[in-house]
Amino acid sequence: MPGVFDGGGDGAACRDFWVFISANQTSKDGYLYLFAGVDKVRFKRLVSTGDTLVLRAKTLMNKREIYKFSCTAHVDGVLACSAEIMIARQKINRCIIMKNQTSTMNNIHPTAIIDDTAAIDDTAIIGAYCIIGKNVKIGAHTVLKSHVIVGDNTTIGQHNEIYQFASVGEVPQDLKFAGEETFF
């Protein structure tokens, strides 16, 4: 079907491509890889069941842990698809996965990744797949829906609700930013 990529039942093609991009580093190595976007997608030909899809990627940019790749997919040496993919790499400092660590912290979803320097009020609710950085403070009755990212050194007060896929307190997107310490 045009415009649809099926990585196969075992996902081997996707896995091999990811191993290439991440240089064999995984979350166990202290890195988290976040899919940031895809641009300039072009589908050139139909890929049918049984075709061998050859994936290639070339690094276009690597700036402040943001990577941009020019990616192509070929069938029998003919271009089937091309795209630019952006990946963000984030170093996780001493992260732990909270799994009902204490009886008072049972309102943190088991898939949340929380740095052990974070201070979270007992009444706060942390949703699925949230990522909480180092030295983060989250106040009483604050709710983080699923997939929220809270960057390092961020303080969130009381009675806040942050919705899905929001990033708070991350590195500024301003091109003049040179890596200096920032606070939110």
- Whole-angstrom Cα distance, residue 51 to residue 49? 6
In terms of pLDDT, which residue wins out, 96 or 82?
82
Helices (H) and strands (E) counted in the chain, each on its own, are 1, 15
pLDDT of residue 100: 38
How large is the greatest C-alpha to C-alpha distance in the chain, in angstroms? 58
Tell me which DSSP letter residue 162 carries. E
pLDDT, one tens digit per residue, over 106-138 is 688 888 888 889 999 989 999 988 999 889 999
pLDDT of residue 24: 60
Question: Dihedral of CA 78/83/84/89: which sign?
Answer: negative
pLDDT, one tens digit per residue, over 15-32 is 555 555 556 666 566 677
pLDDT of residue 34: 76
Cβ–Cβ < 8 Å for 126, 108: yes
- Whole-angstrom Cα distance, residue 42 to residue 46? 12
pLDDT at 63 over 90: no
For residues 126-155, give the mean pLDDT. Answer: 91
pLDDT of residue 184: 59
In terms of pLDDT, which residue wins out, 43 or 11?
43
- Cβ contacts of 103-112, under 8 Å, gap ≥ 24: 109/146
Ranges 51-55, 90-94, 177-181: which has the least confidence: 90-94
CA 179 to chain centre: 20
Q: In the numeric block, which tokens belong to residue 34? A: 């976040």
Put simply, whether the predicted model's pTM sits higher than 0.95 gets the answer no
pLDDT at 101 over 50: no
What percentage of the chain has pLDDT greater than the value 90? Answer: 29
Nearest to 67 by CA among 36, 24, 23, 41: 36
Segments of the chain assigned E as strands: 31-43, 53-63, 66-75, 78-91, 95-97, 113-115, 119-120, 125-126, 131-132, 137-138, 143-144, 149-150, 155-156, 161-162, 167-168
pLDDT of residue 103: 33
